[in-house]
Copies of this chain bind each other. A is one copy, B any other.
Amino acid sequence: MPLTLTPLIGIPLIQPGDDLAGILLGSMQRTGINLMDGDILVLAQKIISKSEGRFVHLSQVIPSNRAIELAAQTEKDPRLVELVLQESREVLRTRPGTIIVEHKLGFVCANAGIDHSNVSGSSGEPADEWMLLLPENPDVSAQRLRQCLEEAAQVSIGVLIIDSHGRAWRLGTVGVAIGLAGLPGLADLRGQPDLFGYRLRITEVGVADELAAAASLVMGQANEGTPAVHARGFPYQLREASFSELIRPKNMDLFR
């Protein structure tokens, strides 16, 4: 069975409190998609964060001494650096323009995933001083949306929330899972013999990250008109899970 990823069209700019499930259902109708059992909806973090009102205006942020110091080193706005520190457990590396952290949610990413692109304030402040934080608990966000969609469409589906992360060793960002409901993060192939009866060398596959990358490809980056992708044909059994399956424990990480 093929895996088909369809960008959902006509999704408006999302505002705090918007009914995302309703918007997605409307968009699927316009795109000509009937939600079926086993389908997965993949959503850019940004529309979840916006619907949850995760905006902070820089004028509301008072930088700590540590933020001021780190801001000088990295040539960034001290107030933004303060937000990055508040959203993080640990700073791993810095260089001008970039602070690589372990986010409070557990994953490693640049600038705590805080976005200042494409965010509009509700009042007259300069829009480029509005920052957008990641959802507070993306697994819960995914689960909530999943329930609304499942009830409305009377189907059993998965919901995946993704962001774009840079990587060690390789250039270019790729889509990765930061929250999920109803689909596995990892697929454990340990113990499955290959065609010659050997145990497989590769044992765990980051299937939610692979789907995140696939959907990210379809979303593109420049066009907020496609922050949502419908996936059909995900070849692994759906189950209850958390994105945290995908986080490598610190003591198993040779590159921290």
Contacts and interface: CB of A to CB of B under 8 A. Distances in A.
Contact of A222 (B171, B192, B233): B192
A218 B233 CA distance: 9
Interface residues of A, number: 75
A246 interface: yes
Contact of A224 (B6, B195, B233): B195
A108 interface: yes
Contact of A213 (B128, B168, B213): B213
Most buried by B among A194, A196, A199, A202: A202
Contacts of A176: 170
A248 interface: yes
Interface string A136-151: 0000000000000000
Contacts of A175: 210
Interface of A: 2-7, 13, 93, 95, 100, 107-108, 115-120, 127-128, 164, 167-176, 185-187, 189, 192-196, 198-202, 204-207, 209-214, 216-218, 220-224, 233-235, 245-248, 252-256
